[in-house]
Chain A
Amino acid sequence: KQEVTQIPAALSVPEGENLVLNCSFTDSAIYNLQWFRQDPGKGLTSLLLIQSSQREQTSGRLNASLDKSSGRSTLYIAASQPGDSATYLCAVMSNNNDMRFGAGTRLTVKP
């Protein structure tokens, strides 16, 4: 059974800092990994989708990497802004059609 872990659970940084969020998974037989952000009480907004054959994806100030063999993904946020404050979730799609989510990292960017 796929287990997805995100570290740290919470992170607070000053505005302008670059930061890295971590996601690890136990079964490397995945189809893809997707990063989402969730604002309090809201749904999930898709940030980046990395297919299992890819190593990284970039969108604006966000860069996500995937190392399938070691069961790890990172989400790099450059020049953080207060508007980036949210909970960031990674989700892994495994071979059994089951998308498993980590518990998320709650990010606070202080002005």
Chain B
Amino acid sequence: KAGVTQTPRYLIKTRGQQVTLSCSPISGHRSVSWYQQTPGQGLQFLFEYFSETQRNKGNFPGRFSGRQFSNSRSEMNVSTLELGDSALYLCASSLWGGTSNTEAFFGQGTRLTVV
């Protein structure tokens, strides 16, 4: 079956702009989580969506937001981009997510560069 699909793979934006990233989970998976990966901070949890509801949120400013649609696809939005937002953004899907002991599968990521 198809894996987790993230689009676009690469993105270059200017400071102050906004950006929307997309994640299509594995068919049947209802949980989608988003992570930011940078060389300095490693992998940091942004938020998790389950059944169109944000179930958990990491420690990121309100400029980072997301949503999940009825088909479990998720989008992440970053407004007023800053240079420090340059990172690899990864999404992970799992059947139930959270503390359900189901395995998390990651997409290839979206490489965002802010100039």
A interface, how many residues as a size bin?
20 to 34
Per-position 1/0 for B31-75, Cβ under 8 A of A: 001010000001101001000000110100000000000000000
**A44 and B111 form a contact (CB under 8 A):** no
The complex places the Cα of A99 from the Cα of B97 at a distance, in Å, of: 10
Nearest-neighbor residue (CB-CB) of B9 within chain A: A41
| Interface pick from B11-19, B77-85, B99-107 | B99-107
**A104 and B108 form a contact (CB under 8 A):** no
The complex places the Cα of A100 from the Cα of B90 at a distance, in Å, of: 14
30 contacts between A and B (CB under 8 A): A34-B103, A34-B104, A36-B106, A41-B109, A41-B111, A42-B108, A43-B4, A43-B6, A43-B90, A44-B90, A44-B92, A44-B106, A46-B103, A46-B106, A49-B101, A49-B103, A51-B101, A89-B43, A91-B43, A93-B99, A93-B101, A95-B99, A97-B97, A97-B99, A98-B45, A98-B56, A99-B33, A100-B45, A101-B35, A101-B43
Does A96 have its Cβ within 8 Å of any Cβ on chain B?
yes
B contacts, CB < 8 Å to A: 4, 6, 33, 35, 42-43, 45, 48, 55-56, 58, 88, 90, 92, 97-99, 101, 103-109, 111
Per-position 1/0 for A81-98, Cβ under 8 A of B: 000000001010101111
**B42 and A97 form a contact (CB under 8 A):** no
Nearest-neighbor residue (CB-CB) of B6 within chain A: A43
Contacts of B99 in A (CB 8 A): 31, 93, 95, 97
